Chain A
């Protein structure tokens, strides 16, 4: 009887550890424990998978011409997105890399450089600068490309 109780206790303990491990999953690139999100816009549909760290791990949609565009997302240990692998059912695979620059003294992100090449092999680089006030609060960000095109987002003033 004692022996049976001991076996049950050990079993419960192992199961408990296993559940605990699952709850504290530290793999930011976990693609097993994901939620599926489907976004519908008329007949158009995009699909995402989001893991327990609230990070997008994959997305896909079909364009007007029938080509399926899939993406896989990879993050570094600090949950910063660093690679997007883009797969197009017609043109094949492309990589999109993001390099993050941080201020060593306060660990604030100051710049991100995104580099990619399109299906013709033309390389493109986008630079995002992060703008802070002197209290260290982020005001916004400005993305520029080689042609002087700007995309901005931040506090509306």
Chain B
């Protein structure tokens, strides 16, 4: 099929076509009715994008050898990049890149507001699963969902973290985004001075509702300061406009520790960010940033450890709306136990925001220091340009003061924090 248009509008026809597309909200497992209009100079090496290029009215195929300093392209990994340096070493060309400004890549984009249910069934990124993982049918409750059983280990002889667990995950993402644009109303006259120019601001919105259940064993052996981030698996809508969630574990260790932690972790709640977007130049500026978040969680740790350590062990969900590598909205929600002491501990501690008392325990310990749980929610937009911490708190369970015999324990009063904290910049 060939499209032929006449008159002055011919070169703008396909842009108009984009605006005429039906825009409506859906609740679905896939994105619908999105528009990505790339600047013509953007070169695309990703097969799910537009690999052809228009130069002087002709189709041109370009390769990485055609890249120059300043070129902007979509790499085969689906990420937008800008060339800053090219070096030739023998038969190899080495190209260094940075992330371009969003306006350098897109002439326009629109994600009509819609809700996506991210499920293990439909959105599990299969190559993110640790080797040997098994997907199980989970029939708890009314809804039938899937559970991922996995084992992941990182580290070496000095420090190693191993997480062996089952996780079920239910995410609903309500998203929307648009770049600012200008509409010219010619008002039926050919006289430009009578035309009315109206500027429409853009916006970005990402609102995630999450329900994570995790049951597993975390084993940590360490001898020095280290932060170990273990991505476990991800659910995603795929390349291009990527709406996703990743389950991860982050362990920060300072000192020496041998820890075996039977971990029950449930996290339910919501985190969201909305902002306006103004400016027609290359630097679109976020305005009126609002973040919200609330969470309930239950952490039960059955610990067996010997330590001189400060340790923070966080199980968290990373949530994102990305376009070709640009982070439109990103958030994370999670928490876990923290320890800061020289001690030996055997037993269990539990904190559950849904029960009274919230804190229960059954353990014996010797040493001095503090143990508790922490939780935090963060949200940001436009590659972290705006946003930050939405809410965070520490719940110290016990302060150990004795170093031998039966420890004197002072259980600190635990107050229910304000879990809903609108955050305005």
Contacts and interface: CB of A to CB of B under 8 A. Distances in A.
Contact of A153 (B44, B48, B129, B241): B44
Contacts of B50: 128, 141, 143, 151-153
B57 to A, nearest CB: 3
Interface in B36-94: 36-40, 42, 44-45, 47-54, 56-59, 61-66, 75-77, 79, 81, 91-94
Interface string A130-142: 1111111111111
B4 A132 contact: yes
A131 B35 contact: no
B178 to A, nearest CB: 14
A37 interface: yes
Nearest to A136: B57
A4 interface: no
Query: Max chain A CB contacts within 10 Å: which of B50, B125, B241?
Result: B50
A29 interface: no
B26 to A, nearest CB: 9
B2 A139 contact: no
B127 A88 contact: yes
A136 B235 CA distance: 44
B182 to A, nearest CB: 13
Contacts of B3: 129, 131-132
B142 interface: no
B270 to A, nearest CB: 25
B58 A138 contact: yes
B264 to A, nearest CB: 25
B131 interface: yes
A126 B238 CA distance: 14
Interface in B2-18: 2-6, 10-15, 17-18
B219 interface: no
A110 to B, nearest CB: 5
A112 B17 CA distance: 19
B81 A41 contact: yes
Contacts of B44: 153
A151 B324 CA distance: 12
B4 A133 contact: yes
A141 B33 CA distance: 17
B304 interface: no
Contacts of B131: 90
B293 interface: no
Given A109-B59, A126-B48, A153-B40, A148 B93 contact: no
Contact of A40 (B66, B97, B128, B241): B97
A132 B2 CA distance: 8
Given A38-B94, A109-B59, A147-B31, A155 B1 contact: no
9 cross-chain pairs, A with B, having the tightest CB-CB distances, nearest first: A137-B57, A67-B127, A90-B127, A65-B128, A37-B64, A157-B12, A153-B38, A36-B92, A119-B126
Given A114-B48, A139-B57, A153-B44, 12 more contacts: A35-B65, A61-B75, A65-B231, A133-B5, A133-B57, A134-B10, A135-B57, A139-B10, A150-B34, A151-B49, A152-B50, A155-B54
